[in-house]
A and B are shown apart, each in its own frame.
Chain A
């Protein structure tokens, strides 16, 4: 198994550092999958993570100007490593004014990912900083659990509002609530001209599961509401004009009852952790809800895709 890669472009290095920071916020331990064209940061949906799973993918040629890898075998030309995410992000943080950054797989007493940075300094000689990050090589037989998750057909798909705003709202609601109840009103409105001449919006009927619940309700008219209810107080935040992407399989929904609500309970802390990881507003942010099953966030940070799955509370 071999891996060597090098970044010399400052912008690429910064972007890679930001991605690594984001991963560190989303998953304490994660799997790094190295293949000839891509790098993936993977969190699989084990019980330990509370069923949350993550799949982050980047094209290596967008970052590295040198990239060589040799997988486990010719047929399985991939490498799966487990590492503590923060170790990588901290190592990259020290590379801020680097002339070059090299990453390679090494074995110094134990397997490591060695990050080696050549820093600009005021004198003629550069400073060289090296970080040996301990890793665990994941054996072939466990790879099947670390494959790209299949995205089920969503019941509703909607673009998210500015994540920072969403995060501050959810943060405040977290203090009151532990469960997040997701409602999606499948309202076919003015998006489908000719079918309906009016748009109606059914505000709320919630089945409150658990003592505290938060509601996300959204419709196909680009409206999303975040809501919590307690015995004493009910707080709602409305987001409008968000827009909906075209549904992939529209045909199957034609004969559905338009009043049908898709709802899912999720743990608000997991939602908050996801939002906290997004330091920069993404290029694209989509939210897909599968009734009673899960919410799937699909983000794009420039050229890096991130998918994050939060399951329904059982």
Chain B
């Protein structure tokens, strides 16, 4: 009994699915297929770990949905459940879900299933007259990462029609790196964040003020200005074209991630973006868990003083510096693996491990303020594993309580056929 996924969709469902893939492609070049009893989740994280996207299709979204996990019985009665660990490249998947409008019109059915024995995902499109198109895509065995973020505790919550976001986005050129969201209890402003480009005499600074009555829901607990990456904002807009649900934005103070969500009963999309922290008295850490490779450290050291590392994680400069690797940095879970010896789910023993241990040690020594930063970084990601409980008791505690959806997943062993 291997971990597996099997689902069937109609033409219009394929369109939504395809839009989800396109939206996630704004964040990363790869994504995980993560089936569970809650439905099929598509998850991805960008290379600098500053943005995370997840689109969860509930079981009732599909015409047919079936999944299973592998249960490993062990003597000490601690069964471990191994879910499907399937990572796919966008380059392979995007071309399959092109021309979504024509797919919607022409296909009768789409079937997606995995073949764990061959590490393949099979996508089949059934057209009229018995025509069938089949794609076989190899997947990498890789533990999906997921974010731990509780939207409900956020001080500031907005709900907007996608149209508003689309109107705001045209103000900025595609070369705009970051945008700043400034809110007061009465109004909302999206503006270009030109902190880096103050010296660039050619950059136009643009702002859009929108009154609170244009929002479906507008609750601002405190005046806030937060800055995040523009490109990823466009990602959720892509997906909003597929549904007609409004976009919800959850955020707090600068430095704490911002969540963009769309929830239309059948599909739930969440994009969690890191935000630039305030330039406070925090020592700027030259190292960060997010970017623990040696190469990254030298990049960070060159950055302006006073900029918080989380901001550095955010800045797309660091993304550009980061080579696109096949594996996004999975060092976070590696670190917890070190502390959590013997965790069976953390199987990534690659050359990174030794580097990782270096960085975690040197972090504690050199940078007193870094614990907060590490908390932030770790809050972001946890592996989907049966050891979630242990992970939380770990000194790298999450700043935010996980919402029940993420925790409950592995509290028991189960397999469904």
Q: Which residues of A contact B (CB under 8 A)?
A: 84, 87, 90-91, 94, 108-110, 112, 121-134, 136
CB contact under 8 A between A127 and B204, given known A94-B170, A121-B214: no
Q: Smallest Cβ distance from B164 to chain A, in angstroms?
A: 9
The 7 residue pairs across chains A and B that have the minimum distance between CB atoms: A125-B211, A132-B205, A128-B209, A123-B213, A130-B207, A123-B214, A129-B208
B203 contacts across to A, CB distance below 8 A: 134
* Partner of B205 from A125, A131, A136 at Cβ < 8 Å: A131
Q: Does B204 contact A128, Cβ atoms closer than 8 Å?
A: no
B206 CB–A CB distance under 8 Å: yes
Chain A CB within 8 A of B74 CB: no
The verdict on B201 contacting chain A, using a C-beta distance below 8 Å, is yes
- List the A side residues contacting B170 at CB < 8 Å: 94
- B102 contact set on A, CB distance < 8 A: none
Docked pose: A112 CA to B209 CA in angstroms: 19
Q: Are A128 and B208 in contact (CB under 8 A)?
A: yes
Asked whether A134 and B201 contact (CB < 8 A) given A94-B170, A121-B214, the answer is yes
A127 with B171, Cβ < 8 A, contacts A90-B204, A134-B204 known: no
B198 CB–A CB distance under 8 Å: yes
B173 at the interface (CB under 8 A from A): yes
List 17 extra interface pairs beyond A112-B205, A128-B208, CB under 8 A. A84-B202, A87-B202, A94-B170, A108-B205, A109-B198, A123-B211, A123-B213, A125-B214, A127-B210, A129-B209, A130-B208, A131-B207, A132-B205, A132-B206, A134-B202, A134-B203, A134-B204
B204 touches A133 (CB 8 A): yes
Output the nearest chain A residue to B210 by Cβ-Cβ distance.
A127
Tell whether A130 pairs with B204 under 8 Å between CB atoms, given A94-B170, A123-B214.
Answer: no
Q: How far does the alpha carbon of A125 sit from the alpha carbon of B210 in the complex, in Å?
A: 8
Q: For B204, give its contact among A123, A125, A131 (CB under 8 Å).
A: A131
Of all chain B residues, the one with the shortest Cβ separation from A122 is: B214
A residues in contact with B167, CB < 8 Å: 127
User: Across the interface, which residues of B come within 8 angstroms of A87, CB to CB?
Assistant: 202, 204
How many residues of chain B have a CB within 8 Å of chain A?
A: 19
A to B CB contacts below 8 Å, 11 in the list: A87-B202, A87-B204, A91-B206, A94-B170, A121-B211, A127-B210, A128-B207, A128-B208, A128-B209, A134-B201, A134-B204
Give the distance to chain B from A113, nearest Cβ to Cβ, in Å: 10
Task: State the CA gap A90–B176 with chains docked (Å).
Answer: 14
Known: A94-B170, A130-B207. A125 touches B202 (CB 8 A): no
Contacts from B to A (Cβ < 8 Å): 167, 170-171, 173, 198, 201-214
Kindly list chain A residues whose C-beta atoms are within 8 Å of the C-beta of B202: 84, 87, 134
Q: Is B204's CB under 8 angstroms from A91's CB? A: yes
Q: How far is the CB of A190 from chain B (nearest CB, A)?
A: 55
Q: Which residues of B contact A133 (CB under 8 A)?
A: 204
Among A87, A121, A129, A134: residue with most chain B CB under 10 A: A129
CB closest chain-A residue, reference B212: A125
Bound Cα distance from A127 to B209, whole angstroms: 6
Taken together as a complex, chains A and B put the C-alpha atoms of A133 and B205 apart, in Å, by 7
Shortest Cβ distance from A132 into B: residue: B205
Residues from chain A with a CB closer than 8 A to the CB of B212 are 125
Given A109-B198, A134-B203, the answer on whether A90 and B173 have CB atoms closer than 8 Å is: yes
Q: Which of A108, A122, A127, A131 contacts B206 (CB 8 A)?
A: A131
Question: What is the CA–CA distance of A109 and B167 in the complex, to the nearest angstrom?
Answer: 27
Q: Which residues of chain A have C-beta atoms less than 8 A from B206's C-beta?
A: 91, 94, 129-132
Q: Is the CB of A129 within 8 A of B214?
A: no
Of all chain B residues, the one with the shortest Cβ separation from A135 is B201
Complex contact B209–A132 (CB within 8 A): no
CA distance A136 to B202 in the complex (A): 10
Q: How many Å lie between the Cα of A296 and that of B204 in the bound state?
A: 34
Q: How far is the CA of A109 from the CA of B197 in the complex (A)?
A: 12
Q: How far is the CA of A94 from the CA of B206 in the complex (A)?
A: 11
CA distance A94 to B207 in the complex (A): 11
Closest Cβ of chain B: how far from A79's Cβ, in Å? 18
Min CB distance B180 to A, Å, is 13
Question: Which chain B residues lie closer than 8 Å to A91 at the CB level?
Answer: 204, 206
Q: CB distance B207 to A129 under 8 Å?
A: yes
Q: Are A94 and B198 in contact (CB under 8 A)?
A: no
- Contact between A94 and B171, CB atoms less than 8 A apart: yes
